Structure 1
């Protein structure tokens, strides 16, 4: 972390100095807050759309259950009358099958309706009429079986059974009509929510493109200024050493400002871009669900489907999704271009033979006083020699030792041990072991991400240190692993090749 503090101070100075880039960054921060608000609104819209779909499906089930109920009642009545007219048992079997299925059908309908204030009273009347009608049918069948067909016919001619069936048809039809009306209302609500979601995402994509254009324009402007400065340096190079130094310093500052600005822009734009991509996929799936629901409704009740709704779901939504995807793809290419500019001028690695025991002891001495204050200690054992880049190695071990001292377990003296050996595969394996706070298993990878920190946030820092450590390790051809348990300390494993091979393009890699 000690190596990062100068960079943070430079960044703070950059923010305090009035420049065009600082103004753009302030505008970008405001725009990102607006994008986050847009993403939150989109998420709410998707949740509402899902709820609308659930209620639409429930309404369809209620309608199907009511139709099943009415069909079974008709089957039971048909079987009753067929048996009375012909006295054939096969008609009676139709009646018996329908009667046997009716309780389950009624129970399913009651479960779907539940405590619905509008439907429950009607369903209660259906149950009462259904029980009376079944009792009447069973009575006429019993009369027929005992040869009292005349009495059975008289009961049928009285019209009592027909009145009951008509009343049940009225109630079940009313239930179906209520659900059909609700279905139309919910479909309209879903369509409105979908249109709002499309508009919000399109606005977010447009805003991102505008910001990207501003950022690229600003970087290009800086690059042009640098090129102009180079030409001026070539013109006055002869005999003007002081002016050359001044111009070189100016170019260096401008280049550093470009790299800082390009990195900030690319990082801050990446997060909302990913959100827009994710919500676009959700929106596409929602459109498919709407299309499926409208197709089903169009087959059963074409009069309830509006042409405008079909056009919105089948034409407008896919068109909007395509626009968003194309816009985000363009945005991704712009970010990659900015990143490519920011990587220019990276430091070239310089391999040298390093007496690692002395190197790490010198780093430990710089933080030893902090460990002494809590009664702790730092132990550096004999370490194998390594041929690598000195500055990168110092940054790696300096950051790890600084973190181990900083994040010690309260009430427990810190103890840090650095040890290592050469492995059988010809690599050098170092371990930095501490008894500090430790890291929970779910955060083992999180702590290596840029701007991400784990555990209690009671220490200064921006979440950059371990990310840079891992990048440095990888650049040196090594790997870095973590073993840690919350409250039990951590062990960082560093494995390097014994000799660093620097390719021709090493300076271009992060």
Structure 2
């Protein structure tokens, strides 16, 4: 066999031929891509020219509008837009002239436009000068002369003609771009076909087909095993996602209910406190009835707070916290909650990181977990509170929704009680779900813990087996900044007398609920202040315009049309020394972001007592 025939039979001829065709197709693809880029650049150039024309026309209109506004009102503020427009027009014309430097027809139009524009601006300046000099009749006569209108009409015609010319260029360049794109696509498809053919040819000429088949079989088995594992993991993630979406939906519902319920509770609590103040010193039977009503209102308010905690709508005040000192400080409180049958042990880790959390809410969460553990150990047992440093990696974060990998401070609460079944664990964080007998619990304890920790950027995990006990781990975000964490007191002393105001201190109360506004206003008057009332933000702004002696703005956050945050901004803009106190039963993102109050915001949550209102108002009015 001749060398040429051996070359063809070996298959190398086909490979060489294929690479030659591949090189040719690559050259065509590169050439088409260069054409496409060039066409795209010209297309963008045309769009920029049109943009300059639109901008030029807009500035002309702004200049005329500012002139008319000044002539009508003689208010210098209307000239800001006119001055800005006239200052920008020459630059826009120069930029436009540079862009169409390759188009003599467009350059001629710009030259005419520059002359007409100069004349129109001279007329505007002349009219403005006459108005400033109180020569209104002369200014009016100049406007009525029609010179300005004729110039503007001609300018519009020129701009319209230039724009039509650019539109024609745009269509032509779009066709060029599409044609180049078609050539590029065809070349890419040809490249793909050639590469595929070369691969197939090489595969058919492979000398070790059996080994390749065995390798493919092994790879397929591994892929199948990986697919089974991925399917199982995806099903688990989908289950978590459904649970998360269910809790989110219930959270939105409970948050809305809590808002309305807090408004009603605010009226009830305020009215009871006013009634108690009015009946001070009278028959003790009345005081007992009021106390009973207040007790019921307080329990209802506590339930609403738990609903807000679950729905992640409560305002938090996170601070650096030493978890070891915190656990030690609440041990006596937890021991009293557990009773004598249950042993309490604390295991505190050395070198514990600092956490950043709202201590009061964390204290409530630990007490809730301790009470649940006590109920799970009716015959006695052991409760352990443990602290530790933890790092939750990417793999763990992938398996748990809404969790960021990183460093956390863990507080684990472990009991030796009855434990939970997998079915109970899956519903444990649902609000109002409880395994306790009727009347023994609201079912909001764990849901409150879950909502609070999630809102704080942490994570909650339940480990439990029926008959083997339960361990609930709270992962709190680590605080990396340098500073001495502190454990603050959980209770504040109650003052003997209410701090009162004076009639010279004027308070503007803004509340869209008529009943709540009436009762709150009565309470503020009871404290000695002068009260002005407004049913919405617009009415409040009108009052602020008329009264310069308002010392404090007391406003609801959630209101129609204008919320409390926007009202506060506009009010302080008009009265820089005005103090603001927000009152609300449900905080949205107006003053709370990422679960934390905005800096400098003073907030009083509904329902509040007359004492709390008095203390907060005096704190704000006496502060810097």
Q: TM-score, normalised by structure 2?
A: 0.31
Q: Which protein has the bigger helix share?
A: 1
Q: TM-score, normalised by structure 1?
A: 0.38
Q: Which has the higher contact order (CA 8 A, sep 6+)?
A: 1
Q: Which protein has the bigger strand share?
A: 2
